Amino acid sequence: MFLGEYAHSIDNKGRLTIPAKFRDQLATGVVVTRNPSDRCLLIMPMSEWEILTEKVKTLPLTDQRSALLRRALFSAAEDLKPDRQGRILVSQRLREFAQIDAETIIVGMNSYIELWDPDTWDQQVLQQLESSQLNDLFAALEI
């Protein structure tokens, strides 16, 4: 399970050091791709990526939304294996999509990780966390 929020740097070669807490779960490989619903990147262990791809395969080929989702996920996807220092190389193309420069926010999302530009995280996500819609959804869980 991926939990927590971490501020990390991306070096001048585009390498991101994965938080130590996450490394064992990602040691066999990851897929990095665009998040189709937000301006951030998804980092998924291979096992979670395979589950997602099986679900996407069930979507109708003739549905325009399905085609857009496939394009967003698969055209940008890069399969990577962390090096001995726990680093992955995040391509320039993906960093530009997420507007990530040297600093980034790594967010554990239970079964996957999101990678955010710090300003976008602060301005968009943290403000949304304070919305009443989130409170309503949490209340609906009946915990």
Q: What is the pLDDT of residues 88-108, one digit of tens each?
A: 999 999 999 999 999 999 999
In a domain, 123, yes or no: no
Rounded Cα–Cα distance for residues 99 and 40 (Å): 8
Say how many domains are in the chain.
1
In a domain, 111, yes or no: yes
Domain harbouring 44, CATH code: 3.40.1550.20
In a domain, 38, yes or no: yes
Arithmetic mean of pLDDT over the chain: 92
In a domain, 131, yes or no: no
The predicted structure's pLDDT at residue 115: 97
In a domain, 110, yes or no: yes
Least confident residue range of 43-47, 56-60, 112-116, 131-135: 131-135
Q: What is the pTM of this model?
A: 0.88
In a domain, 16, yes or no: yes
Q: How many CB atoms lie within 10 A of CB 105?
A: 20
In a domain, 141, yes or no: no
Least confident residue range of 28-32, 94-98, 116-120, 139-143: 139-143
Q: From residue 125, give the alpha-carbon distance in Å to each of 42, 112, 117, 137.
A: 15, 17, 11, 16
User: What value does the mean pLDDT take over residues 115-123?
Assistant: 93
The DSSP bridge pattern shows strands 103-108 and 5-9 to be antiparallel
In a domain, 133, yes or no: no
Confidence of residue 137 (pLDDT cuts 50, 70, 90): confident
User: What value does the mean pLDDT take over residues 1-29?
Assistant: 95
The predicted structure's pLDDT at residue 124: 78
Rounded Cα–Cα distance for residues 51 and 55 (Å): 6
* Structural domain containing residue 57: 5-117
